[in-house]
């Protein structure tokens, strides 16, 4: 599958570049000309422009509202004030939102990966009949827009008493994301050396032991990557939380941010603070899982 | 191997097949309930008139007939076309130029660190959850207190200041800019990894023969990246058709219906006005469109796999 191949390539984009540089050395066409200085200056300036909204959110979230009104959003704050941040944190009950988001994302990561792993085992190793169609169905399911499932899911959640309950979302996201996870894990599994599996079978290993002792250790890295993705995808979800979690106490970070957008228009420093504290957790994940995430951008392109 | 043993192996294998079925039972049941039942149910609802209370009333194709003459519905797809431009076409074009400039122009001259840092800058918006990106830009584009108007005024052009998200003339344009801002980092990262895969010796040979950077870009880079370009264009087009959160957060589809997209229009009917059947019909049309596109992607990827 080309996705798998692309994932493979993203693993190491720098190494070949490094080779290339060393091969060419100083001479030839890679000299630093005035034009090349212009190009690099332009690139860096553009990249800085790209991150400037974040910088501005940061600068203004620690300003007092009075200073924002008098000197505007572009100047640095004359004194650091956490008023905006604290105001938003309290008003939005942000600690609770963080905890809700964390719980949902955590359980989706665990359950979604477990579902992906078992289903993929039957498909990739067990090669059950009809596997091609099942995978095709899963892949197609992944492109169905949430709007086309949302209302029936809402009714179902109400029927079983999980309306306004984070477990409704945990179950739904675990299943939806495992459709993609199954596709990915089974494609990794079908590349396994058959001799190894055959040898274990001849040694009398049953399907459970095969799964536990041979297959699981081999796919564990993939499963870890998948967990990170499921966690972050769930963290960022908006539509289904919007529909399924009406009450303030069960809302997620992303949802409360989306709803906050119209709330603080007359209070720009609080709005900047909201954007900032909303970004911080994701920034933290990114710094922790940077490699995994960049590796998987192409993988996620199926989404 | 004799025919007998290979037969035996095959038979054994076939038997073992049954052993593996139980492992996918939980996954299949859950998938059936959450995806298949919901989707079929939604299609059923699209043939009914229902406000969510009591029993749905079967009305056949009435909702679809109404869609055909619903101006807002067609307008919403027109907006999707604009968003395909903002999320697929422009980021692909910009991504190609920036990625190859960083990869084979900046990197060899100024080092990997420079190009990696620039790439990280462009990629940053990709890691921000979309509702938060929407919040951030709502703040920056605010007509009263926003930074954009402030800068324009400070530069001596107060007449350029606009109600960016609240004026029907500008709302589409503003959302488009935000989507481009979000999306470019994705294409850059994919294209840079594609360039790392591509054979560099062709570039070097061409450069020695005196080809300019732009000639090499046009003739070699675009060819080498053809598979990535195709995948990126298709996947980002799918993403553009699904746009919901940016519109919900920044404009609520408005002012009026100036930025309404199919996903938002469907949500609006389902939840805001409780026209469940109509909302279901809109989402079914959108889903079918997306499923057809994903089948195209699926086929394309399989073909790629065979060719490699």
Residue pLDDT, tens place only, A33-73: 888 888 899 999 999 999 999 999 999 888 888 888 788 78
Q: Convert B6-35 to b/e letters by CB count within 10 Å (16 or more is b).
A: eeeeeeeeeebeeebeebbeebbebbeebb
- How would residue B17 be classed by pLDDT, with cut points 50, 70 and 90? low
**Range A23-28, long-range pairs (CB < 8 A, 24+ positions):** A24/B108, A24/B204, A28/B207, A28/B208
Residues in chain B closer than 8 A to A29 (CB atoms): 207-208
Nearest-Å Rg of the Cα atoms of chain A is 24
Stretch A124-133: mean pLDDT: 88
* Region A201-226 average pLDDT: 88
A20 in a structural domain: no
Output the pLDDT for position B254.
Answer: 80
HSE-CB at B151 with a 13 A cutoff on CA atoms is: 10
What is the interface size between A and B, counted as CB pairs within 8 Å?
353
> What pLDDT score does A28 carry?
52
pLDDT of residue A29: 61
> A13 falls in which pLDDT band (50, 70, 90)?
very low
In order of A126, A185, B12, B132, the CA distances from A194 in angstroms are 11, 16, 15, 47
Question: What's the CATH superfamily of B64-307?
Answer: MetI-like (1.10.3720.10)
Q: Helical H runs in A81-130?
A: 83-92, 94-120
Please tell me whether the peptide bond between B255 and the residue prior to it is cis, using omega within 30 degrees of 0. yes
Looking at chain B from residue 241 to 280, which residues have their Cβ under 8 Å from any Cβ of chain A? 241-242, 244-245, 248-250, 252, 263, 266-267, 270-271, 276, 279-280
Helix (H) or strand (E) holding A6: helix A2-10
- Cα(B167)–Cα(B164) distance, rounded to whole angstroms? 6
Helices A216-236 & A268-300, crossing angle to 10 degrees? 150
pLDDT at residue number A5: 35
For residue B163, how many other CB atoms are within 10 A of its CB? 18
CA B296 centroid distance within chain? 15
Question: pLDDT tens digits for A134-192?
Answer: 988 998 888 899 999 999 999 999 999 999 999 999 999 999 999 999 999 998 888 88
| Backbone conformation region of residue B58, classed left if phi is above 0, alpha if psi is from -120 to 50, else beta | beta
**Are the beta carbons of B23 and A47 separated by less than 8 Å?**
no
Least confident interval from A41-55, B218-232, B257-271 = B218-232
For residue A11, pLDDT beyond 50: no
Average pLDDT score, chain A: 83
What does the longest C-alpha to C-alpha distance in chain B come to?
89
Q: According to the model, what pLDDT value does residue B3 have?
A: 45
Does B171 lie at the interface with A, CB-CB under 8 angstroms? Answer: no
Q: Is residue A82 part of a domain?
A: no
Domain assignment of residue A15, yes or no: no
CA of B285 vs chain A CAs: smallest distance (Å): 9
Domain of A266, CATH number, reads 1.10.3720.10
Considering the domain boundaries, does residue A42 fall inside one? no
Instruction: Burial-class residue A47 by CB neighbours within 10 Å (0-12, 13-18, 19+).
Output: buried
Which one of B46, B80, B118, B132 makes the best mutation probe of the A interface by having the most chain A beta carbons within 10 Å? B132
Cβ-nearest to A39 among B106, B132, B271? B106
Residues of B in contact with A52 (CB under 8 A): none
Range in A35-39, A59-63, A211-215, A264-268 the model is least confident about: A264-268
Q: Is the model's pLDDT at A20 over the cut of 60? A: no
Among B35, B147, B200, whose Cβ lies nearest the Cβ of A56? Answer: B147
Return the pLDDT at A18.
Answer: 43
Band of pLDDT at residue A110, cut at 50, 70 and 90: very high
Q: What are B79's two structure tokens?
A: 């907006």
Cα of B245 to nearest chain A Cα, Å: 6
- pLDDT surpasses 90 at A243: yes
Mean per-residue pLDDT, B170-193 = 93
Q: Does B198 touch chain A if contact means CB atoms closer than 8 Å?
A: no
Mean pLDDT, range B43-58, rounded to an integer = 93
Which residues of B, range 76-135, sit inside 8 Å of A by Cβ? Answer: 98, 101-103, 105-112, 114-132, 134-135
Task: Report d(CA B76, CA B88) in Å as an integer.
Answer: 17
Report the pLDDT value the prediction gives residue A300, as an integer from 0 to 100: 43
pLDDT(A25) > 70: no
Q: Counting beta carbons within 10 angstroms of the beta carbon of residue B299, is it exposed (0 to 12), middle (13 to 18) or buried (19 or more)? A: exposed
Closest Cβ opposite residue A144 in set B19, B39, B119 = B39
Contact between B135 and B247 (Cβ < 8 Å): no
The pLDDT value recorded for residue B230 is 87
Asked if A57 reaches chain B (Cβ–Cβ under 8 Å), the answer is yes
Region B270-291: what's the mean pLDDT? 95
Q: Are the CB atoms for B101 and A228 separated by under 8 Å?
A: no
What is the least distance, in Å, from the CA of B295 to any CA of chain A? 7
Q: Within a 13 Å sphere around the CA of B173, how many CA atoms are in the beta-carbon half?
A: 9
Contact of B41 with chain A, judged by CB distance below 8 Å, is answered with yes
CB-based contact (8 Å) between A261 and chain B? yes
- The answer to whether the beta carbons of residues A24 and B108 sit under 8 Å apart is yes
Tokens 């746009």 sit at which residue?
B243
| A74 in a structural domain | no
Residue B305: per-residue pLDDT: 62
CB contact under 8 A, A179 and B35: yes
Q: What is the ipTM of this complex?
A: 0.86
- Count the domains in chain A: 1
Torsion sign across C-alpha atoms B227, B199, B186, B109:
negative
- Contact between residue A242 and residue A255 where contact means Cβ atoms under 8 Å apart: yes
What pLDDT score does B68 carry? Answer: 94
Q: Is residue A139 part of a domain?
A: yes
**Dihedral class, residue B240 (left if φ above 0, else alpha if ψ from -120 to 50, else beta):** alpha
CB A123, CB A134: distance < 8 Å: yes
3-state secondary structure of B308: coil
Measured CA to CA in angstroms, residue A61 lies from A49, A72, A77, A120, A299 at distances of: 19, 13, 9, 46, 35
The mean-pLDDT minimum among A176-185, A230-239, A290-299, B217-226 falls in: A290-299
Task: Tell me phi and psi for residue A145, to 5 degrees.
Answer: -70, 145
CB A282 within 8 Å of CB A63: no
Averaged pLDDT, B80-93: 95
Q: Mind telling me how many Å the CA of A141 is from chain B's nearest CA? A: 7
Confidence (pLDDT) at A294: 67
Give yes or no for B290 touching A (CB within 8 A): yes
- A171 belongs to a structural domain: yes
Task: Compute the mean pLDDT over every residue in chain B, rounded to the nearest whole number.
Answer: 88
Q: Got the DSSP string for A13-39?
A: HHHHHHHHHHHH-SSTT----HHHHHH
Q: Does position A3 have pLDDT exceeding 50, yes or no?
A: no
Residue A7: pLDDT band with limits 50, 70, 90: very low
Q: Is residue A92 over pLDDT 70?
A: yes
Q: Please check whether residue A169 lies inside any domain of the structure.
A: yes
Cα-Cα-Cα-Cα torsion B103, B109, B111, B116, nearest 10 degrees, comes to: -30
Give residue B16's pLDDT: 54
Contact yes or no for B233/B293 (Cβ under 8 A):
no
Contacts of B163 (CB under 8 A, 6+ apart): B143, B170
Q: Which residues form the domain of A218?
A: 93-300
User: Using the beta-carbon criterion (under 8 Å), do B31 and A141 form an inter-chain contact?
Assistant: yes
Q: What is the pLDDT of residues A94-105, one digit of tens each?
A: 999 999 999 999
User: Is pLDDT above 90 for B159?
Assistant: no
pLDDT at B133 exceeding the cut of 50: yes
């Amino acid at each position: 599958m080309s996705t798998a191949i692309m994932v493979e390539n993203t693993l190491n984009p720098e190494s070949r570049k490094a080779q290339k540089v060393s091969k060419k050395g100083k001479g030839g066409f890679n000299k630093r000309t005035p034009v090349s200085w212009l190009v690099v200056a332009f690139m860096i300036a553009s990249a800085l422009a790209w991150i400037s909204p974040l910088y501005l959110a940061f600068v203004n979230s620690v300003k007092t509202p009075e200073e924002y009104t008098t000197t505007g959003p572009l100047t640095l704050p004359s004194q650091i004030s956490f008023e905006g941040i604290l105001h938003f944190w309290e008003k939005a009950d942000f600690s609770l939102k963080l905890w809700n988001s964390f719980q949902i994302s955590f359980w989706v990561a665990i359950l979604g990966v477990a579902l992906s792993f078992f289903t993929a085992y039957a498909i990739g190793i067990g090669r059950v009949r009809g596997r091609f169609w099942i995978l095709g169905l899963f892949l197609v399911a992944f492109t169905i827009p949430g709007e086309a499932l949302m209302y029936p899911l809402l009714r179902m959640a109400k029927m079983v008493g999980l309306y306004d309950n984070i477990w409704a979302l945990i179950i739904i996201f675990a299943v939806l994301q495992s459709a993609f996870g199954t596709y990915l894990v089974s494609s990794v599994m079908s590349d396994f050396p058959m001799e190894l599996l055959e040898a274990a079978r001849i040694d009398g290993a049953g399907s459970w032991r095969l799964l536990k002792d041979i297959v699981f250790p081999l796919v564990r890295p993939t499963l870890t990557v998948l967990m990170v993705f499921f966690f972050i995808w769930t963290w960022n979800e908006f539509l289904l939380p919007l529909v399924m979690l009406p009450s303030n106490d069960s809302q997620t970070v992303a949802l409360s941010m989306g709803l906050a957008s119209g709330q603080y228009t007359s209070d720009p420093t609080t709005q900047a603070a909201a954007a900032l504290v909303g970004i911080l957790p994701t920034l933290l994940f990114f710094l922790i899982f940077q490699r995994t995430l960049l590796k998987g951008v192409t993988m996620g392109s199926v989404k | 191997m004799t025919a007998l043993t290979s037969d035996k192996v095959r038979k054994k294998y076939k038997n073992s097949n049954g052993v593996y079925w139980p492992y996918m039972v939980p996954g299949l049941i859950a998938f059936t309930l959450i995806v298949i039942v919901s989707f079929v149910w939604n299609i059923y609802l699209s043939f009914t008139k229902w406000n969510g209370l009591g029993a749905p009333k079967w009305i056949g194709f009435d909702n679809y007939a109404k869609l055909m003459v619903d101006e807002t519905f067609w307008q919403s797809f027109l907006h999707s076309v604009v968003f395909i431009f903002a999320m697929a076409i422009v980021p692909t074009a910009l991504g190609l130029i920036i990625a190859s400039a960083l990869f084979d122009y900046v990197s060899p001259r100024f080092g990997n660190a420079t190009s990696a840092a620039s790439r990280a800058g462009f990629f940053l918006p990709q890691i921000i959850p979309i509702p938060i990106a929407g919040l951030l830009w709502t703040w920056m584009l605010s007509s009263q207190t926003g930074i954009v108007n402030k800068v324009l005024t400070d530069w001596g052009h107060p007449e350029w200041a606009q109600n960016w998200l609240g004026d029907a003339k500008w709302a589409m344009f503003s959302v488009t800019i935000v989507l481009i801002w979000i999306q470019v980092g994705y294409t850059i990262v994919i294209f840079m990894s594609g360039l790392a895969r591509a054979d560099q010796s062709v570039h070097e040979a061409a450069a020695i023969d005196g080809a300019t950077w732009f000639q090499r870009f046009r003739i070699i880079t675009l060819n080498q990246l053809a598979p990535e370009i195709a995948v990126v264009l298709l996947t980002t087009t799918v993403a553009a058709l699904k746009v919901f959160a940016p519109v919900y957060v920044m404009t609520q589809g408005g002012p009026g219906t100036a930025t309404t997209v199919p996903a938002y229009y469907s949500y609006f009917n389902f939840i805001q006005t409780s026209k469940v059947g109509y909302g279901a019909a809109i989402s079914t049309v959108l889903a079918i469109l997306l499923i057809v596109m994903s089948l195209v992607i699926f086929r394309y990827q399989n073909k790629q796999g065979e060719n490699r």
